Structure 1
């Protein structure tokens, strides 16, 4: 069987430990050094999720060149040094190649650890904040603007092969049953590929929304549970696989949730919750309850939303993350709003704001990277909208859209759609139409049934106001916009 890393364009390379970086760590443990990296990142406004495993990968030579966020942090920590002084390879020497022709594809098998090490997505470290306008961005699967535009168009039209490439090595695995061959025991390479798949799914959802991604993302989830069934040789690897599979189930559940497949989402969240309880993973359990609460609210089960959010808070409190508890309080507030309990909602919102004000901490889960001031404002807007306080909801929705990082295209569209609906229901049809137009401008980049449903509701509210400034233009453009299947 041919090696999965053997290609005509890039021979298999042995790992070269990064001794320079190891020397800089000195007598500190990898965990202590990772904490120092995170503190340095905060000093310059970066957000990285550095941990001991990341430091180990750098020192082992698995990460030959860091992404741009880490580069800025490292150069801030060690002023006057270059990446070469830190033991990294020149960026141009590790830039990825394009997809291989079909005839060069490796034999059907789970992608090997060597593939994860040497392919472009792992040559750079794509865990954290990145620059979407950076032509070297490791998430920009094909390394130039023309190919990036091809990726965007293929994603928006449901191009399965291109989406699979964007999901990274784990999405390219072969289903064991389809291949009619048993899987061997999983190792650290498969665990790393699974963790990478989770990160890439979240990134693609941030940029493009759920609808074009849901069906494709379900395949890595099936593979993850197949790997669990096959077993592992080490408990640490089994723990990583269970955690990764649970997080992947939540990510796929969210894609189902956001694309209106509520029954599928409920099933995936329940699967993640069962995985968390089997392994005693409190962080995963809190995450599963968090998403279950959000789903219950959207599915019209507000009392269940309150109960799930409260359960998440009980499980999550010992984890020590104020930001996590803030988000969970917002989930509870959404449930109280659905029950028309204004007092309960206001109390939960006050807790959420107070907890948020405590700031970030090293205990914050990696999956919460989306939760900033914009999301806080957006979720509060949804509460006031549910309670029928349209002017207050519109103020928070407008602020959410203004505060959102441009990378989160899907959230900008969501907050602006929320603003349009609040303005329409609050008696400001002209402003609502203008906001609706801004959402339509984003729909060539975003696929989200949630956003399209919100916009359709706004259009119905605006129908009697065709003569108001801009309303007719919005309604005509909305009516002619393509709908998702």
Structure 2
């Protein structure tokens, strides 16, 4: 039997005819592309694509969802994909990018994100950084009334043993992430969240257990986001960090919320949004002060300093560095497990980043050298710090920079971390003027080989 011809999409035609002023095919395509870009989805629709939709072709998800959202905005009433003569998916294109208003919505959004990630849904693959979502999430985090009451009446009884099991797995995943890089653990973390944590969130628990469960789940969700960031999957990382922030809010754990906001600030600087990084860092400081954790407050000042450095604002950077140092001197040894990494070596590394971005390579080298006095187990961090030192030395001592860079290469060969490759490329770039020197040329060829092979 022959293939049935496509039927014209009269519902879409009628909706377009209803718009005032009339929305052209080119105008619809442009709006859909812009809406996709706002949630980190890159599309290539034009008026010919709209012509195919009118003729009866179904765009791939999240196309139907985005088309419905655009028409909702233009018509001033809610439009869903079926109204457009299209079959939309179960999840919107912005899944995970919104800080949910209610606890039920938050649980549904997080578990849907994990499920969609496990299923490798198309709209999550290659999602780019969405510039507006972090400011919106941080504002809602600051203004959402509370406290919330995380209780559930599901079939399975959830107790302290269940929470402790998630906590143990989170520690194991955190250690692995530091030792082997996000690429080797991310998918395992996501599968664990989907298969093991989702049933717990849907179980039966009282408020004390629920607060612990949401806090521990927030830690693990943040780690999944950090692993995605390490792979430079920035749009995916955003979704996980926003959901982690939401869960920390449900748990009433403002210190963990501050830590997640600081992670968002870290990423914002990395992707070239230093203004957003400063705003996120300042929101994190508000929470850190409320949590009474001086070390956490110090970290939040450090990420603000890095944002200022990326904006070439040396005065504001110095003010934030001084504030970070003052807070660090008040810190005691008692801190949550998720803050164990923040020590003097980490402070030195972040300070070195600031001076490097400000062009003060002598002081960058000084602090980068101090950062190498770090705890065991942080292999990826050591690779970062070695590259940082090599970058700072490249102009004055290129031979030493290449030697230190080679030491970093030896570590990075055992990691799966795209961020470490970015650090290597930075060193390679700074040594470009010295390619006539055999050791420099050899190092630059090694960097090119490893980054081209694995990126």
**TM-score (ref. length: structure 1):** 0.59
Match among 281, 297, 303 for residue 275 of structure 2: 303
- Counterpart for residue 322 of structure 2: 350
Q: Residue 365 of structure 1: CA displacement? A: 2.2
Instruction: Give the Cα–Cα distance (whole angstroms) in 2 for the partners of residues 219 and 183 of structure 1.
Output: 22
Asked if 2 retains the 8 angstrom alpha-carbon contact of 1:258 and 1:449, the reply is yes
Q: Residue 279 of structure 1: CA displacement? A: 3.6
- Counterpart for residue 431 of structure 2: 462
Q: Max radius of gyration: which structure?
A: 2
Q: Does 1:284 align with 2:256?
A: yes
Instruction: Give the Cα–Cα distance (whole angstroms) in 2 for the partners of residues 404 and 358 of structure 1.
Output: 20
- Counterpart for residue 389 of structure 1: 360
Q: Residue 256 of structure 1: CA displacement? A: 1.0
Instruction: Give the Cα–Cα distance (whole angstroms) in 2 for the partners of residues 412 and 381 of structure 1.
Output: 14
- Counterpart for residue 398 of structure 1: 369
- Counterpart for residue 128 of structure 1: none
Instruction: Give the Cα–Cα distance (whole angstroms) in 1 for the partners of residues 378 and 323 of structure 2.
Output: 26
Instruction: Give the Cα–Cα distance (whole angstroms) in 2 for the partners of residues 306 and 183 of structure 1.
Output: 44
Aligned with 1:190: secondary structure?
Answer: helix
- Counterpart for residue 248 of structure 1: 220
Structure 2 segments unaligned to the other structure (5+ residues): 1-114, 119-153
Q: Residue 358 of structure 1: CA displacement? A: 2.5
- Counterpart for residue 387 of structure 2: 417
Instruction: Give the Cα–Cα distance (whole angstroms) in 1 for the partners of residues 226 and 356 of structure 2.
Output: 22
Alignment length, in residue pairs?
Answer: 304
Match among 392, 414, 419 for residue 450 of structure 1: 419
RMSD of aligned residue pairs (Cα, Å): 2.2
Match among 366, 369, 382 for residue 340 of structure 2: 369
Asked if 2 retains the 8 angstrom alpha-carbon contact of 1:185 and 1:230, the reply is no
Match among 207, 212, 216 for residue 184 of structure 2: 212
Task: Pick 1 or 2: higher relative contact order, CA cutoff 8 A, min separation 6.
Answer: 2
- Counterpart for residue 479 of structure 1: 448
* Cα deviations by residue, 1:110-147 (Å, 9 ceiling, x for unpaired): xxxxxxxxxxxxxxxxxxxxxxxxxxxxxxxxxxxxxx
Structure 1 segments unaligned to the other structure (5+ residues): 1-174
**TM-score (ref. length: structure 2):** 0.63
- Counterpart for residue 165 of structure 2: 193
Asked if 2 retains the 8 angstrom alpha-carbon contact of 1:272 and 1:284, the reply is no
Asked if 1 retains the 8 angstrom alpha-carbon contact of 2:255 and 2:296, the reply is no
Asked if 2 retains the 8 angstrom alpha-carbon contact of 1:324 and 1:365, the reply is no
Instruction: Give the Cα–Cα distance (whole angstroms) in 1 for the partners of residues 195 and 273 of structure 2.
Output: 32
Asked if 2 retains the 8 angstrom alpha-carbon contact of 1:252 and 1:265, the reply is yes
Q: Residue 394 of structure 1: CA displacement? A: 1.6
Q: Residue 286 of structure 1: CA displacement? A: 1.2
Aligned with 1:467: secondary structure?
Answer: coil
